[in-house]
C-alpha cells in the first residue's frame, strides 16, 4: 500500500518554505524544483572560507547559508557565499533580493556540477547578480561570470574569465584580486 498526501499545495514556494530538511543536508528551490543535497566536505568549506576572508568587511557583507530571491522566477538558491554591499539590503527575512547581491560563489561538488555550470548562470544572470564565481576543485580552476543580460532561462553572462588554482583572479565587482593559491583539489573519481 502506498501512502499519498493529497492535500493541496498553494505553491511550490510554500512547500519549500515549510520543508523539513534532514540534518547534514541542504535544499534549494531551483526553477520550480526542490533540490536536496548532502552537506559540503572539508575542501569545499575551506574554499568558501578562503574566499570570504579576502573580502573587505568595511564595504561588503559575505554571508554563508543565505538564500536569495530571483525576481520573476520560482527560485530560491542558497549559494555557498552571497556578497552584498553595505546598505544594499538591510533585512529582515530569509531572502535577499538577487538585484541587491554583487557576487555569488558556488563551489562544485560531485553532484552539483551540472546545476552550477548550466542552470545557475542563467538564474543568477536573470536576477541581475553582477558576478557569479564558480570554483571547481575537480578541475582546479575558477570561472568568473560577469555582465548579466536578458531574463528568464535566456539570461546569461556576457563575460567569462577563467583562472587556474594558483593564479590570481581579478574580481572587479568587489575591487579585489582573489588569491587562489591555497585552494585545494579533489580527485575526479
Domain assignment present for 70? yes
Domain assignment present for 31? no
* The three three-digit cell numbers of residue 13, written as one number: 514556494
Range of the domain at 70: 40-178
**How high is the pLDDT of residue 23?**
76
**How high is the pLDDT of residue 13?**
67
Mapping DSSP onto H, E and C, the string for the chain reads: CCCCCCCCCCCHHHHHHCCCCCCCEEEEEECCEEEEEECCCHHHHHHHHHHHCCCCCCCEEEECCCEEECCCCCCECCCCEEEEECCCCCCCCCEEEHHHCCEEEEECCCCCHHHHHHHHHHHHHHCCCCEEEEEECCCCEEEEEEEEECCHHHCEEEEEEEEECCCCEEEHHHCEEECCCCCCCCCCC
**How high is the pLDDT of residue 115?**
92
Residues 104, 163 contacting (CB under 8 angstroms) = no
Nearest to 110 by CA among 188, 26, 22: 188
Domain assignment present for 14? no
Domain assignment present for 104? yes
**How high is the pLDDT of residue 6?**
52
Domain assignment present for 170? yes
Nearest to 126 by CA among 95, 101, 108: 101
**How high is the pLDDT of residue 25?**
67
Distance CA 32, CA 15 (A): 11
**How high is the pLDDT of residue 15?**
67
pTM score: 0.85
CATH code of the domain containing 125: 3.90.1570.10
**How high is the pLDDT of residue 117?**
97
Domain assignment present for 6? no
Domain assignment present for 24? no
- The total domain count for the chain is 1
**How high is the pLDDT of residue 8?**
47
Domain assignment present for 35? no
CB atoms near residue 41 (< 10 Å): 13
* The three three-digit cell numbers of residue 105, written as one number: 560563489
**Residue 74: CA count within 13 A, CB half-sphere:** 12
Residues lower than pLDDT 70 in the chain = 1-10, 12-13, 15-16, 18-19, 22, 24-25, 27-28
Amino acid at each position: 500500500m502506498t501512502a499519498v498526501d493529497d492535500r493541496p499545495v498553494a505553491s511550490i514556494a510554500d512547500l519549500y518554505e515549510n520543508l523539513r530538511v534532514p540534518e547534514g543536508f541542504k535544499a534549494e528551490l531551483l526553477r520550480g524544483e526542490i533540490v536536496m543535497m548532502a552537506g559540503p566536505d572539508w575542501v569545499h568549506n575551506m574554499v568558501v572560507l578562503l574566499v570570504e576572508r579576502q573580502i573587505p568587511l568595511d564595504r561588503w557583507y559575505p554571508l554563508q547559508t543565505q538564500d536569495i530571491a530571483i525576481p520573476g522566477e520560482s527560485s530560491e538558491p542558497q549559494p555557498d557565499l552571497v556578497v552584498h554591499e553595505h546598505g544594499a539590503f538591510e533585512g529582515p527575512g530569509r531572502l535577499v533580493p538577487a538585484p541587491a547581491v554583487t557576487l555569488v560563489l558556488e563551489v562544485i561538488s560531485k553532484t552539483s556540477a551540472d546545476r552550477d555550470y548550466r542552470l545557475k548562470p542563467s538564474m543568477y544572470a536573470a536576477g541581475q547578480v553582477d558576478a557569479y564565481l564558480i570554483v571547481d576543485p575537480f578541475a582546479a580552476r575558477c570561472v568568473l561570470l560577469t555582465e548579466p543580460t536578458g531574463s528568464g532561462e535566456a539570461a546569461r553572462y556576457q563575460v567569462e574569465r577563467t583562472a587556474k588554482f594558483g593564479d590570481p583572479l581579478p574580481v572587479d565587482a568587489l575591487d579585489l584580486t582573489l588569491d587562489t593559491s591555497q585552494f585545494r583539489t579533489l580527485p575526479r573519481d
